[in-house]
Amino acid sequence: MEKKEINYNFAKEFTSYPGPRYKDIGEHSGEEFREDILIPKFFDKNISIYIDVEDVELSFGPSFLSEAFGVTAKKYGLDKFNQIVKVKIDTEKGKRFQKKMMEYVEDELNGN
């Protein structure tokens, strides 16, 4: 069976303005993205998400990245995380996002 991959325009499908860590702090939080999008629509279904951040207006804060991606990687392990989460890196913005995201994934995995 071929593994499915979904192209995900972050700005159009979630928000152009990524928010704080937790839902109770503000809209478009890392917790919301993880709990409502990333885990149920991708990890639970074993479908790869191919994230395009080109249209995102506000840069992703450390708390969003840590909560959305770091906590997910800790829960599922780095191998599974890397199988599911892909980033469109054909632009500088995409490359910066991937680098920053992986820094927070590593921090979470290392208990920082």
pLDDT score recorded for residue 4: 87
What 3-state DSSP class applies to 65? helix
The 10 Å Cβ neighbour count of residue 73 is 24
Rounded to whole angstroms, how far apart are CA atoms 108 and 71?
A: 7
pLDDT score recorded for residue 3: 64
CA 84 from centre of chain: 10
pLDDT score recorded for residue 1: 45
107 φ/ψ sector (left φ>0, alpha ψ -120 to 50, else beta): alpha
pLDDT score recorded for residue 111: 87
What pTM did the predictor assign? 0.94
pLDDT score recorded for residue 31: 98
- Identify the segments of the chain with pLDDT beneath 50: 1
